C-alpha cells in the first residue's frame, strides 16, 4: 500500500509509532482525530502540540491515553503470582492447574488489551500500514507502564522474537531457575498478537477497496531464557480459516459499537464457519459437524465451544435475556475456540476418518 491517507483514514508506518502513541495519549477523542490527521504530513508539529504519552494521574486515576492502569510494587505483583502458584499447587497436587490458570489469565489480558488498543485506533481513524508498526506501537505503550522493558525483533516472515527485561512477575526468579510464571506471557503474547494480526489487515481492508490482505497467525510461543532475560520465540503461519475470521471481525466490531444482538449472531455464524472450513472445506457439511471435534479439542475446549454455541443460540432465538456481560463472554469464548480450531493440525488420513464418521 502506497497510500498514506484513504477516505479520511491515516495509515502509519513503523517510523511514525512514537507520534501516534502521543496522539492516542490524549483523552479527548476530537483532539485525537484532529491531531492524527496531521500525522503523515507534519510529524514534528504533531509531537510539539500533543500531550506527553507517559503514565499520568488525572482525577485520581493512573492512565496512558484512554487506557486506565493501577500501580503496584514489582515485588507485590510477583508475590501475587507466587502465592497463586503455591495455593493452586497445594490444592491440586499438580503444576497442570497453575499452567491452565496462567493460560486463561494471559489469554483474557491479551485479548481485552488488544481490543482496547485497536478500538482506540479505529476511533482515531488511524490504521498501521503493516503488522510490525502496530506491534511496535503496542511495545511503546507496554514499556511506559513500568512492566519491564519489551523489545521486538522480526527474525523472518514467520518468526518474531520478544525480549522482556526486568520481568515484573519474575522478581523471585533465580539466575538458573525455572521461570514458573512465564506461561502467562506465552499466552498473553499469543492472544494480543493474534488480535493484532487478525484485525489490522481487516481494518485496512475496510477503507481500501479491493485490498486483499495477507493475514498471518501465531501458532506457537515458546520461552527461551537468555542471559537473565525472558526471550520468547513466536512462530507464525498464514491464516487458514479466512471466512470464519472475516465474520468474527464483524462480530467484534459490532461488540465494540455495543450492538450486542448483531454481535452474538455474527459470532455464532463465525464458529459454524470455522468448523466447516476446518473439516469440510469445499464439501457440504453434515448438520452435527461440531461432533467431529470430539477428541481433537481438549475436553475442556470442546465443552466451552458447545456451551458457547448453545448460549449464543439462546440469545439469537430470544429464549435468553441479552445481558452485556454475558454477550461479551460468549464472544470472547467463541473467538478463543476459533483460534484453537485453526491451530490444530489434522493429517489427511484423520480428516478422511472424521468425515466418514460424520456422514454415516
pLDDT digits (tens, 9 = 90+) for 240-250: 999 999 999 99
**Is residue 9 a part of any domain in this protein?**
no
Residues 111 and 228 in one domain: yes
Residues 227 and 102 in one domain: yes
**Helical (H) or strand (E) element with 216:** strand 216-223
Residue 119 near residue 256 (C-beta atoms within 8 A):
yes
pLDDT digits (tens, 9 = 90+) for 125-180: 788 888 888 999 899 888 887 778 999 999 999 999 999 998 888 887 876 667 88
| Residue 61 burial (C-beta neighbours within 10 Å; 0-12, 13-18, 19+) | exposed
Residues 87 and 232 in one domain: yes
For β-strands 9-12 and 5-6, DSSP reports them as antiparallel
Mean pLDDT of 54-62: 46
CA distances from 49 to 11, 21, 123, 217, 222 (A): 20, 13, 20, 37, 41
**Is residue 18 a part of any domain in this protein?**
no
CA atoms within 13 A on the CB side of 291: 12
**Residue 9, pLDDT score:** 67
For β-strands 67-69 and 126-128, DSSP reports them as unpaired
Residues 296 and 200 in one domain: no
Residue 45 has pLDDT above 80, yes or no: no
**Is residue 41 a part of any domain in this protein?**
no
Residue 234 near residue 189 (C-beta atoms within 8 A):
yes
Of 238, 267, 287, the last residue of a domain is 238
- Alpha-carbon span 314 to 300, nearest angstrom: 21
Q: Which residues pair with 57 in a beta bridge?
A: 62
Residue 8 has pLDDT above 60, yes or no: no
Residue 238 near residue 221 (C-beta atoms within 8 A):
no
Residues 226 and 252 in one domain: no
Residues 120 and 229 in one domain: yes
Of 215, 238, 261, the last residue of a domain is 238
Q: Residue 152 is placed in which grid cell?
A: 521486538
Of 193, 222, 238, the last residue of a domain is 238
Q: Residue 92: which CATH number? A: 3.30.1380.20
For β-strands 159-165 and 230-238, DSSP reports them as antiparallel
Q: Please give the distance of CA 350 from its chain centroid, rounded to a whole number.
A: 30
Mean pLDDT of the chain: 82
Q: Residue 304: which CATH number? A: 1.20.120
Rounded (5°) CA angle 337-341-210:
95
**Residue 174, pLDDT score:** 72
Percent of the chain with pLDDT over 90: 47
**Is residue 59 a part of any domain in this protein?**
no
**Is residue 19 a part of any domain in this protein?**
no
Of 121, 224, 228, the C-alpha closest to 171 is: 228
**Model pTM above 0.85:** no
**How confident is residue 272, by pLDDT bands cut at 50, 70 and 90?**
very high
**Is residue 24 a part of any domain in this protein?**
no
Residues 246 and 209 in one domain: no
Q: Quote the longest CA-to-CA distance of the chain.
A: 69
Residues 121 and 160 in one domain: yes
Residues 251 and 227 in one domain: no
**Is residue 332 a part of any domain in this protein?**
yes
Residues 145 and 116 in one domain: yes
For residue 115, give its domain range.
72-238
Residues 103 and 174 in one domain: yes
**Is residue 55 a part of any domain in this protein?**
no
Strand-by-strand arrangement of the 230-238 sheet: 149-156, 159-165, 230-238, 216-223
pLDDT digits (tens, 9 = 90+) for 315-359: 998 877 778 899 999 999 999 999 999 999 999 999 999 999 998
DSSP 294-325: BTTB-HHHHHHHHHHHHHHHHHHTTSS---HH
How many domains in the chain? 2
Residues 99 and 214 in one domain: yes
Mean pLDDT of 199-208: 85
Amino acid at each position: 500500500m502506497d497510500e498514506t491517507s484513504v477516505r479520511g483514514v491515516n495509515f502509519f508506518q513503523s517510523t511514525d509509532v512514537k507520534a501516534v502513541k502521543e496522539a492516542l495519549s490524549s483523552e479527548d477523542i476530537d483532539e485525537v482525530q484532529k491531531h492524527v490527521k496531521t500525522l503523515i504530513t507534519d510529524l514534528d508539529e504533531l509531537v510539539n502540540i500533543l500531550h506527553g504519552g507517559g503514565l499520568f494521574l488525572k482525577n485520581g486515576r493512573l492512565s496512558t491515553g484512554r487506557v486506565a492502569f493501577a500501580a503496584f510494587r514489582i515485588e507485590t505483583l510477583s508475590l501475587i503470582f507466587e502465592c497463586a502458584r503455591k495455593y493452586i499447587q497445594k490444592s491440586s497436587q499438580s503444576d497442570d492447574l497453575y499452567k491452565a490458570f496462567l493460560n486463561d489469565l494471559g489469554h483474557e489480558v491479551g485479548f481485552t488489551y488488544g481490543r482496547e488498543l485497536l478500538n482506540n485506533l479505529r476511533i482515531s481513524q488511524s490504521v498501521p500500514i503493516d503488522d510490525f508498526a502496530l506491534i511496535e506501537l503496542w511495545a511503546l505503550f507496554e514499556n511506559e507502564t513500568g512492566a519491564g522493558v519489551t523489545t521486538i525483533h522480526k527474525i523472518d516472515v514467520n518468526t518474531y522474537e520478544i525480549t522482556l527485561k526486568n520481568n515484573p512477575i519474575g522478581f523471585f526468579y533465580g539466575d538458573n531457575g525455572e521461570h514458573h510464571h512465564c506461561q502467562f506471557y506465552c499466552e498473553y503474547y499469543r492472544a494480543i498478537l493474534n488480535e493484532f494480526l487478525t484485525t489490522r489487515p481487516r481494518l485496512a481492508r475496510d477503507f481500501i477497496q479491493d485490498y486483499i490482505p495477507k493475514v498471518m497467525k501465531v501458532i506457537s510461543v515458546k520461552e527461551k531464557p537468555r542471559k537473565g532475560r525472558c526471550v520468547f520465540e513466536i512462530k507464525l503461519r498464514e491464516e487458514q480459516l479466512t471466512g470464519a475470521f472475516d465474520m468474527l471481525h464483524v462480530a467484534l466490531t459490532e461488540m465494540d459499537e455495543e450492538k450486542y444482538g448483531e454481535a452474538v449472531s455474527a459470532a455464532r455464524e463465525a464458529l459454524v464457519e470455522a468448523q466447516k472450513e476446518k473439516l469440510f472445506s469445499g464439501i457440504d457439511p453434515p448438520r452435527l459437524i461440531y461432533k467431529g471435534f470430539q477428541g481433537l479439542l481438549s475436553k475442556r475446549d470442546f465443552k466451552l465451544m458447545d456451551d458457547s454455541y448453545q448460549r449464543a443460540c439462546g440469545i439469537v432465538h430470544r429464549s435468553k435475556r441479552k445481558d452485556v456481560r454475558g454477550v461479551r463472554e460468549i464472544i470472547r469464548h467463541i473467538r478463543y475456540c476459533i483460534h484453537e480450531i485453526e491451530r490444530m493440525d489434522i493429517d489427511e488420513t484423520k480428516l478422511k476418518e472424521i468425515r466418514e464418521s460424520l456422514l454415516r
